[in-house]
Amino acid sequence: MKNKNKFFSLIVLSILALVISGGFVSATDCLTLAEVTVPEDVDHDQGFFEVEFRLSYTGSCTLPRTGIEWVFFSNIDEMTWTAPTQSGLGFGESKLLKVPFTFPAHHSGDISISVMVTSAEGDADTLALTPIEINNAPSIKITETQVITQTQDGVIEVENDGNINWADVELSSSTEDFEVEFSDDEFNLPAGEKKTITVSPVDLGTVGFGGEYVVITATSNDGTTDSITMNIEGSFCEVGEIGGRLEITNIEINNKDGDDNEWFLLDVIKIDVEVENTANDDVDDVMIELGFFDSEGVNQVNDFEFDNADEEEFDVGKIRDGKEETVTFNFRVPADFEEGDYKLTIKAYSKDLGEDVECVDTSRDHDGVGDLFTNIDIQREDDEGKFIAFDNIEFTPVEGTCGDRITITLDVFNVGDEDLEDRIKVKLKNTELGIDEFFEIISNLDQGDKETASFDFVIPQNARDDSYTLRLSSEYDYNRGNYRQGSDVDEVVSFRVIGCGSPVGEKVADISAVLDSDEPMAREELIVRATITNLKSDRASFAIDAFGYQSWASLDELSPRIVDLAAGASEDVVLTFTLDEDACGEESFDVEVRDSSGMIETREIGVNIGCTSQPSVGFDLGDNSFLWIVGIINVVLVVLIIVVAVRVARR
Q: Can you tell me whether residue 12 is helix, strand or coil?
A: helix
Same domain, yes or no: 326 and 360? yes
Residue 29: which pLDDT band, with cuts at 50, 70 and 90? low
Angle (CA) 299 301 304, round 5°: 150
Q: Summarize the confidence of residues 331-341 as an average pLDDT.
A: 88
Helices assigned H by DSSP within 447-540: none
Helices (H) and strands (E) in the chain, counts: 2, 47
Q: Residue 167 above 60 pLDDT?
A: yes
At 5 the pLDDT is: 42
Same domain, yes or no: 118 and 30? yes
Which residues have a Cβ under 8 Å from the Cβ of 602 and sit 6 or more positions away? Answer: 511, 590, 591, 592, 593
Q: Can you tell me whether residue 605 is helix, strand or coil?
A: strand
Q: Per residue in 275-332, pLDDT tens?
A: 999 999 999 999 999 999 998 888 999 999 898 766 899 999 999 999 999 999 999 8
Read off the DSSP letter of residue 641.
Answer: H
Q: Can you tell me whether residue 561 is helix, strand or coil?
A: coil
**Is the separation of the CB atoms in 530 and 605 below 8 Å?**
yes
Q: Can you tell me whether residue 385 is helix, strand or coil?
A: helix
Q: Can you tell me whether residue 38 is helix, strand or coil?
A: coil
Q: Per residue in 568-619, pLDDT tens?
A: 899 999 999 999 988 888 888 989 888 887 788 888 888 888 886 544 444 4
Q: Per residue in 515-532, pLDDT tens?
A: 877 778 888 899 999 999
Range in 94-108, 140-154, 201-215, 349-363 the model is least confident about:
201-215
In a domain, 647, yes or no: no
Q: Residue 93 above 70 pLDDT?
A: yes
Same domain, yes or no: 567 and 537? yes
Q: What is the DSSP string of 89-109?
A: E-TT-EEEEEEEEE--SS--E
Phi, psi torsion values for 300, nearest 5 degrees? -105, 15
In a domain, 241, yes or no: no
Residue 224: which pLDDT band, with cuts at 50, 70 and 90? very high
At 633 the pLDDT is: 64
Same domain, yes or no: 126 and 187? no
In a domain, 95, yes or no: yes
Q: Can you tell me whether residue 493 is helix, strand or coil?
A: strand
**Is the separation of the CB atoms in 287 and 351 below 8 Å?**
yes
Same domain, yes or no: 128 and 186? no
Q: Summarize the confidence of residues 484-499 as an average pLDDT.
A: 86
Q: Which of 179, 199, 232 is the last residue of a domain?
A: 232
Q: How many domains does the chain have?
A: 5
Structural domain of residue 316, as residue ranges?
246-379
**Is the separation of the CB atoms in 339 and 378 below 8 Å?**
yes
Q: Summarize the confidence of residues 469-494 as an average pLDDT.
A: 84
Residue 639: which pLDDT band, with cuts at 50, 70 and 90? low
3-state helix, strand, coil in the chain (%, to 5): 10, 50, 40
Q: Model-level pTM?
A: 0.52
Q: How far apart are CA 473 and CA 429, in angstroms?
A: 9
Angle (CA) 629 630 631, round 5°: 90
**Is the separation of the CB atoms in 180 and 201 below 8 Å?**
yes
Residue 480: which pLDDT band, with cuts at 50, 70 and 90? confident
At 599 the pLDDT is: 82
Same domain, yes or no: 369 and 262? yes
Angle (CA) 551 554 555, round 5°: 130
Same domain, yes or no: 352 and 400? no
CATH of residue 536: 2.60.40.10
Q: Which of 379, 410, 443 is the last residue of a domain?
A: 379
At 221 the pLDDT is: 93
Inter-CA distances, 514 with 530, 592, 603, 605, 607, Å: 7, 16, 12, 9, 9
- Would you tell me how many other CB atoms lie within 10 Å of the CB of residue 153? 15
